[in-house]
Amino acid sequence: MVEFKANFREVNLLKGHRLGIGTYGAVFKAKCDSLIICAAKVLHPTLFNPAMQHQIAAERSHVAPIRKFEQECEFLSTIRHPNVVQYLGLTEDPDTGLPVLLMELMDENLTHFLHQGELACDTDQQPEIPFRVQINICHDIALALSFLHSNKIIHRDLSSNNVLLIGNVKAKLTDFGMATYALTQLTFTRSPGADVYMPPEAVWNDFPTYTEKIDCFS
């Protein structure tokens, strides 16, 4: 299991301020040293039940949830880029004793941002998302991918859920649980990310071969 390392004397998880929830865990606000507000990814305790781990692994054979968490911590702790969410460290959930991933706090994900834009258009409250904002978001994503691919890292799970925004000013990539190093074209697991974002070669074959272009398609 990952080692607890955080450059803070005290970390308080604010579980009354949940930012989101997923299959493997939830994200809450956290206060570090009574000054810094950040995001904290907390795993569901049931994932550490051996029987539950076996069931999940059988359904999602490409990666067990615990390994996915460890992998995300590993990648985030070793990369630094203005368009990749900033890793702050690891701490322990005092309620469960499980590891917690600390990251910089962002405003929302791209899915929510686009959805709010669609609702506004439907109700004529404001114009659609300005073209310059669309370009800026796409440019930020491209910069992050260029950095990752130049370092032989494939994200493999790029979607609007995994693009976080600070207002509509800056976009950053997150969720590196499916990321991998690829020095050459290799055989990987089928459809590592959400099917709707995956290219044909990652979906149609049980043991597909693909490169960093999988991220460009997404």
177 CB-near residues (< 8 Å, 6+ apart): 63, 68, 69, 71, 72, 157
**CA–CA separation, 41 vs 23, rounded Å?**
12
Report the mean per-residue pLDDT for the chain. Answer: 82
- Considering 157, 195, 206, 215, which one is annotated as catalytic? 157
Q: Residue 204: which pLDDT band, with cuts at 50, 70 and 90? A: confident
- In this prediction, residues 134-163 reach a mean pLDDT of 95
Smallest Cα–Cα separation from 214: which of 138, 149, 131, 129?
A: 149
As given in the structure block, the two tokens for residue 71 are: 């992998």
Sign of CA dihedral 195, 201, 206, 212: negative
User: 13-58, pLDDT tens digit by residue?
Assistant: 999 999 988 777 899 999 998 878 999 999 887 766 655 555 554 4
Q: Residue 61: which pLDDT band, with cuts at 50, 70 and 90? A: very low
In which region does residue 156 sit, left (phi positive, over 0), alpha (psi from -120 to 50) or beta (all else)?
A: left
Q: What is the pLDDT of residue 192?
A: 62
Active-site annotation holds for 157: yes
Q: How many helices (H) and strands (E) does the chain have?
A: 6, 12
What pTM value is reported for the model?
A: 0.82
DSSP bridge partners of 42: 26, 100
